[in-house]
Chain A
Amino acid sequence: MEVTPEVRSQMSEIIDRYPNSRSALMPLLHLAQSIDDEVTPEAMEVIADALGLTTAEVAAVATFYTMYKRKPVGRHHIGVCTNTLCALLGGDAVYDAVSERLGAGHDQTDVDGTFWLERIECQAACTHAPVMTVDWEFMDNQTPASAVDIIDRLARGEQVQSTRGPVIRDFQATEHTLAFPVDGLAGEGGEADDIMLAGLTYAREHGMSAPAAPGGDA
């Protein structure tokens, strides 16, 4: 990890968010993954230095959380939810199709190191099953064919829009967002989608509402 003056100032900015500098460890590891596409041993040393920790203390944390990788992820991280609900509604077939397309298994990259494939756990999007993520942006309601098509389009460098989020960038850009979440993209992805609005829509169509709020809405 190359520590430019800009990186140094970003690190300080993250540390300043917390009353205790050690709390900055997780966002600093995300920052490291936005500079390289993994957490390198050098990055752990830099972070340990900045926080007054040992590299062992940093490594203990970096190895505990599954989003931190110790091998290069490549350009895009592909996640397919294979927890029970997504899996049984078709996520297993989506995973198999993507795995075959990439020639990669769980926590492996394709042959040229562009795509990292991971079986992910529940992504808090069960209403949108089967769920895939690209660089952790939602790609909801997938089929094997649609998932492979997304990979093909990314491989050709075409624009791919998250179903509830911005146009896909790359893994490192998302990691930068996790370190600096005011990324100018909050306006992307629009309002709630039809699935999030299912109950509201039904209530409107059938004249249902909550008892009147005397103080107005919040």
Chain B
Amino acid sequence: MTPLTPVITEHWDVPDLFTLDGYRRKGGYRALPKALAMDPDAIIGMVKETGLRGRGGAGFPTGLKWSFVPQNDGKPHYLVVNADESEPGACKDVPIMIANPHALIEGVIIASYAIRASHAFIYIRGEVPQAIRRVATAVREAEQAGLIGDNISGSGFSLRVTVHSGAGAYICGEETALLNSLEGLRGQPRLKPPFPATHGLYSLPTVVNNVETITNVPWIINNGVDWFRQFGTEKSPGFKVFAVSGHVERPGIYEAPLGITMGELLEYAGGVRGGGPVKFWLPGGSSVPMLTADYLDTPLTYEAMVEAGSMLGTGTPMVFNNTISVVKSVTRWLEFYKHESCGKCTPCREGTYWITGLLEKFEAGHGTDPDMDLLNEVCGHIMGRSFCALGDAAATPFPAAVKYFRDEFQTATTVPVDVSFPPSAGYVFEGVAAR
């Protein structure tokens, strides 16, 4: 059995961990002087050697991303932290920012030094003021302590950090849409290439990293490559802040090495709520294909999840039991993608409209066999043909659902899903009549 390994979460029960004093008492800001004494390229090399992969969903190697920033080009460089956590099911970056914002800030300072950025931005979704005030206050404390500002600790390195509040747009989690948003534009994605490493914020070299990714950095600097690679697998090294939600007895944050299985996480989370089997689960957000109980023993790594036909995504598993209608779940996710489509490209803008309309027919018990074919066709017209990954994500839930639960869609050609699956059966509280 893979043990839990609290690293990022180890001191979260310290009452004032979110303050500079609290963080320092637990060893915080010890990595910063070590990093500032290193050559920036050596830090990039070290992060490369750890094999740390982006924790925001795509899993791109972090050190490699940093190394794409052209050095000594005389241009300003930027670090942008993607704290727009909005993926349905993802709820690990907001807890990190609330519980230990200084660990993120320490990572921001070190990463900025490594890529020679003199200005870092933390783009936090606007709907989470508690995370925004904790991070912004941590930045202010760090400024007052001389950890951010001009000539930090006499190193000659200077850094500004700006905390930026979003305003409610899922698409801004896509890195180029986020950059447009940060420039004061509508949050619509840009054509790639060129990539942000050369043409990012204000068309200048920029690294965009997820909150959890950057939060790993102080531990890497403090403890080194070999320590880091004790966790996880060859291709998916390190520890992961898993957020387990849905029909489990103890939903919550569980930090463990990559390679732990859903079955193991489920055991730590007290098993399926009310007993009974897992009906379906998603390893990391609604944008990754669902899996069934057959995959509970598959390691939660980037590579094994792809092999299983899904993706690790944000590493925030959602678990659903037998009370839940797959048709209704997928319909609701598509209503989300339709609402959040930015409208820039036709396949996504029109496709999400068509998929949602067709799925709503099934939800009402009026789906037809030709509708099923049409749904497959529309999804096929979006996948790989939309401007950014949001379109692909919208084309993901239905094909995965029909692969495992075709019979449920069949039933929904005659019976409304609220009849087959009374909604109140899935509620986590008692005594509410069905809608």
The 10 closest A-B pairs by CB, nearest first: A198-B252, A215-B222, A199-B254, A181-B136, A65-B167, A25-B184, A186-B137, A218-B218, A22-B184, A126-B245
Interface pair A129/B245, CB less than 8 Å apart: yes
Task: Contacts A85-B318, A202-B268 given; indicate if A93 touches B13 (C-beta within 8 A).
Answer: no
Residue on B nearest A144 in the bound complex, by CB: B432
Residue on B nearest A24 in the bound complex, by CB: B184
The stretch of B51-59, B94-102, B383-391 in contact with A is B94-102
Interface pair B245/A61, CB less than 8 Å apart: no
Contacts of B7 in A (CB 8 A): 210, 213
Interface pair A143/B429, CB less than 8 Å apart: yes
Residue on A nearest B230 in the bound complex, by CB: A211
> Could you tell me the distance in whole angstroms from the C-beta of B148 to the nearest C-beta in chain A?
13
Interface size on A, residues (CB 8 A): 87
The CA of A54 and the CA of B97, in the complex, are separated in Å by: 36
The CA of A122 and the CA of B336, in the complex, are separated in Å by: 9
> Could you tell me the distance in whole angstroms from the C-beta of B249 to the nearest C-beta in chain A?
10
Most buried by A among B230, B252, B333: B252
Contacts of B320 in A (CB 8 A): 88
Interface pair B429/A90, CB less than 8 Å apart: yes
Which single member of B13, B106, B227, B268 contacts A213 (CB below 8 Å)?
B227
Task: Contacts A126-B318, A218-B30, A218-B218 given; indicate if A64 touches B169 (C-beta within 8 A).
Answer: yes
Interface pair B427/A210, CB less than 8 Å apart: no
Bitwise interface map of A from 183 to 199 toward B, beta carbon under 8 Å scored 1, else 0: 10111011110111111
Can you add 14 more A-B contacts, CB < 8 Å, to A26-B181, A67-B168, A209-B6? A30-B167, A66-B168, A84-B328, A84-B329, A85-B246, A89-B247, A93-B424, A124-B127, A129-B245, A138-B130, A185-B133, A198-B254, A199-B9, A208-B4
Interface pair A199/B88, CB less than 8 Å apart: no
The CA of A125 and the CA of B97, in the complex, are separated in Å by: 13
Contacts of A162 in B (CB 8 A): 130
Residue on B nearest A30 in the bound complex, by CB: B165
Interface pair A26/B89, CB less than 8 Å apart: no
The stretch of A2-10, A13-21, A108-116, A152-160 in contact with B is A13-21
